[in-house]
Amino acid sequence: MEVKELVNRRIEVLKDKLVEKGLDTAIIIKPENVFYFSNFNPVINSHPCFVIISVKKGAHLLVHSIRCDHAKEEGSLDNVQLYGKWGANISLAMDPVDAIREILSHGPIKLGLELSDVNYKLYQDICTKLNISFIEDISVDVNMMRMIKDEYEISCARKSADLVDIGVETTIKYLQEGYSEACASTEGQYQMRKTWSKLYSNTEICGFGTSEGGIIDSFHVWCLSNEHIAYGCDCPKHYIPMAGDISLPMAWAKVNGYHAENERSIIVNKLDEKRDRAYKAMLEARQAVFDKMKPGITLESLYFEAVELFTKYGFGDILPGRIGHGMGCSAHEFPSIGKGVKIPLTAGMILTVEPGLMEKSWGGVRHSDTVLITENGYELLTKINNKCIIINK
Amino acid sequence: MEVKELVNRRIEVLKDKLVEKGLDTAIIIKPENVFYFSNFNPVINSHPCFVIISVKKGAHLLVHSIRCDHAKEEGSLDNVQLYGKWGANISLAMDPVDAIREILSHGPIKLGLELSDVNYKLYQDICTKLNISFIEDISVDVNMMRMIKDEYEISCARKSADLVDIGVETTIKYLQEGYSEACASTEGQYQMRKTWSKLYSNTEICGFGTSEGGIIDSFHVWCLSNEHIAYGCDCPKHYIPMAGDISLPMAWAKVNGYHAENERSIIVNKLDEKRDRAYKAMLEARQAVFDKMKPGITLESLYFEAVELFTKYGFGDILPGRIGHGMGCSAHEFPSIGKGVKIPLTAGMILTVEPGLMEKSWGGVRHSDTVLITENGYELLTKINNKCIIINK
């Protein structure tokens, strides 16, 4: 199915949700969700984009005038409207909410909004300038929709997974050769870019930025070692891992808007007892989780599998808050694999599986794979060695 | 002055602003602003960070438990508090607003919030869970503070400017050698990373992400040609520029949280009459702007300088919405160099100067420099050739 058709299908599903909730209109503002309902990424978000979905009037993509050609040519929606002033383009209004008023009927609107994302000032503008009868939150509804991927989304994530495999594999190779965390990561990123050009040159690799910036290249490789792993995420340092270290190269990529990640904990020569025990606990916890992964199993129960193993290995006092999460348009999306999450695994979900341990005193350990839930179980989209990885120096 | 001292000075300035506005507390939530008031970047923002500034109780950095070690060791604030659960760290509460209630006194709070950034759900939680007597917007106050950079911020921006110079220069070299936009950009990014490792290996190069992601490597090089320039920003294509083309390589970098950009329009061999005229108009408009740049001149009047030249050259019908903007923690920050912006140039501002023209039918043209306003005029932080640049093929 063409992307355009898939996007239209998503819009129809949201319309049904709106009707179900007694709503007639949605204004979508979160960059990842705007992309989901339009296949348009402005890359830079300092002039925000909106998808306005009206049960009666269909879907409109509203962008700043500077994004006019881009939105009309690369977005999937036929209705593109403009606000603001740039060049000779004709806009509905200078202000986006004034433009939305032009698009929607003047009758009282029963509005769905992503209340976890819309900023207060915009919310106020919407209440003041539009004829609103009531507003309800649709953040969770959109999150639930995004949770199950369609074939196109899966095909993009597969490409991203290929690239993060290359990023991490290359970084491990250069760590082995004596490069620092930062310099090995540089080579990993470089190799990802080159592979993109070779295999997927007709795709885009931008990400979704904040209101003050953008992500033009979504390929990130980084690497943390030992106690630095306890930071969770950080800039790699110019540290050269040595015997006894755990080093953790990580890679992210987003092909045509869909994300994958790969993380691998590397043993340099040999670990001391505690690190070694943590590494074994991590591998066993992963196996226990994978053994249980199939449609119907709740996310919470996967978390408890890992908890049981970590506790058995003596790490019950430093349990992680979650052992994985959804991904798709984003690196970290709904839902978490954690306590209290009763959502059942469902075919089409893409999740990270990354039960990990970390503590300042000795470091941390974690592999992360990008995993697709299938009808009968799961498929690893990231495919490089995810068992015990040792480099010798 | 040490970063810690500078951050404390910023907090004191904000406290004075709060008192001036009849407020006693600020809750800072925008990632760039959290960094500004703490020198802490969690890199991944799926668990948001907060700086709570109380006129009476001082400043607190509130982070998710997973960011505990990172925040305590690399942030500039002595008071670090936690919410949520990860490992053995002890948190004030599971929910961040519950944690804020523990930090602040129970008396009625006169609260300053970034109303253009705080999401509606968080705003509601704050109103429900804290004892608020009233809330006022402080977005503009913080923007105004960030507008004038201190010596440390300028020193970081200088390094970023060095790196974007290298990114664009390298990309031009590879375009000349026959590489595609995307492949030449890959070499530009690679060279920036290598130069970072060589010259600035003790710095960090992360950016500020959305609530669903992060920017681990802020170095971006991209390149658009001809009609693609009219998109404003996009992923580079695997197109090899040829005689008659305008090609526009661009680079971003952020060293220790401070941004610079460089953009150069490249003539491949020779342009047709319209593109050539646009290129000349752009260079002359830039000169007119630079000739006027010194403290006291309003941003609007710089915009009108460019408008006059563009109109003289016959492009009065496709005027840009602005010809530059502030930068610092972000690529695009307050204020714009545009119509109606009466703010005077002030020593310590860092701005892009990028009067440009773009139109789908023939393409676009724009150089962008990162410029520091000094006591007597301005200083170009980006230093590579910003006149007429021709490559021959």
Of A146, A172, A207, the last residue of a domain is: A146
Same domain, yes or no, for B172 and B80? no
Please indicate whether, in this complex, the C-beta atoms of A189 and B69 are within 8 angstroms of each other.
no
Distance from the A117 Cα atom to the nearest Cα atom in chain B, whole angstroms: 5
* Alpha helices by DSSP H, chain B: 3-20, 31-36, 68-74, 96-103, 120-129, 139-147, 151-176, 181-199, 273-292, 299-312
pLDDT of residue B210: 79
- Tell me what ipTM this predicted complex has: 0.97
User: Coil, strand, or helix at residue A49?
Assistant: coil
- For residue B377, the tally of other CB atoms under 10 A from its CB is 15
Query: Is beta strand A58-64 parallel, antiparallel or unpaired with respect to A389-391?
Result: unpaired
- For residue A365, the tally of other CB atoms under 10 A from its CB is 25
Same domain, yes or no, for B212 and B327? yes
Per CB-CB distance under 8 Å, the chain A contacts of B178 are none
Distance from the A209 Cα atom to the nearest Cα atom in chain B, whole angstroms: 6
Residues 12-51 of B with CB under 8 A from A: 31-32, 42-44, 46
Whether chain A has a CB inside 8 Å of the CB on B360: the answer is yes
Same domain, yes or no, for A288 and A352? yes
pLDDT of residue B106: 77
- Token pair of A73, please? 């040519």
Same domain, yes or no, for B227 and B295? yes
CATH classification at residue B14? 3.40.350.10
Same domain, yes or no, for A125 and A15? yes
Same domain, yes or no, for B183 and B231? yes
Whose tokens are 């609260």? That residue is: B111
Whose tokens are 């979905």? That residue is: A53
Distance from the A366 Cα atom to the nearest Cα atom in chain B, whole angstroms: 14
- Please answer whether residues A354 and A306 qualify as being in contact, where contact means their C-beta atoms are separated by less than 8 angstroms: no
pLDDT of residue B315: 98
The structural domain count of chain A equals 2
Same domain, yes or no, for A136 and A155? no
Please indicate whether, in this complex, the C-beta atoms of A213 and B205 are within 8 angstroms of each other.
no
User: What's CA B217's distance to the chain center, in Å?
Assistant: 15
Distance CA A97, CA A84 (A): 11
Whether chain A has a CB inside 8 Å of the CB on B181: the answer is no
Averages of pLDDT over runs of 10 residues in chain B (393 residues) are 94 98 98 97 93 97 97 97 96 98 90 97 97 97 97 98 98 98 98 98 93 91 98 97 98 98 98 98 98 98 98 98 96 96 98 98 98 98 98 94
- Please answer whether residues A368 and A261 qualify as being in contact, where contact means their C-beta atoms are separated by less than 8 angstroms: yes
Of B119, B146, B173, the last residue of a domain is: B146
Of A146, A167, A192, the last residue of a domain is: A146
State the greatest distance between any 2 C-alpha atoms of chain A, in Å, as a whole number.
Answer: 72
Q: What is the pLDDT of residues A292-331, one digit of tens each?
A: 999 999 999 999 999 999 999 999 999 999 999 999 999 9
**Residue B159 belongs to what domain range?**
148-391
Please indicate whether, in this complex, the C-beta atoms of B120 and A123 are within 8 angstroms of each other.
yes
Please name the residue of chain A whose CA is at the shortest distance from the CA of residue B236.
A204
Torsion angle in degrees (nearest 10) through CA of A312, A316, A319, A324: 20
What distances in angstroms separate CA B19 from CA B14, B24, B26, one per listed residue? 9, 6, 11
Same domain, yes or no, for A198 and A112? no
> Which of A118, A197, A233 lies nearest to residue B182, judging by beta carbons?
A197
User: Which segments in chain A show pLDDT lower than 50?
Assistant: none
Please indicate whether, in this complex, the C-beta atoms of A216 and B204 are within 8 angstroms of each other.
no
What distances in angstroms separate CA B346 from CA A133, B155, B294, B328, B368, one per listed residue? 46, 18, 8, 15, 20
Same domain, yes or no, for A80 and A31? yes
Same domain, yes or no, for B345 and B322? yes
Backbone angles phi, psi at B245, to 5 degrees: -80, 150
CATH classification at residue A341? 3.90.230.10
Same domain, yes or no, for B178 and B310? yes
A238: nearest Cα among B203, B72, B40? B203
Distance from the A195 Cα atom to the nearest Cα atom in chain B, whole angstroms: 11
Whether chain B has a CB inside 8 Å of the CB on A190: the answer is yes
Whether chain B has a CB inside 8 Å of the CB on A223: the answer is no
Same domain, yes or no, for A83 and A62? yes
Tell me the residue type at B346.
T
Please name the residue of chain A whose CA is at the shortest distance from the CA of residue B181.
A197
DSSP H or E segment with residue B371: strand B369-373
Residues 56-85 of A with CB under 8 A from B: 65-67, 69-70, 84-85
Distance CA A357, CA B273 (A): 64
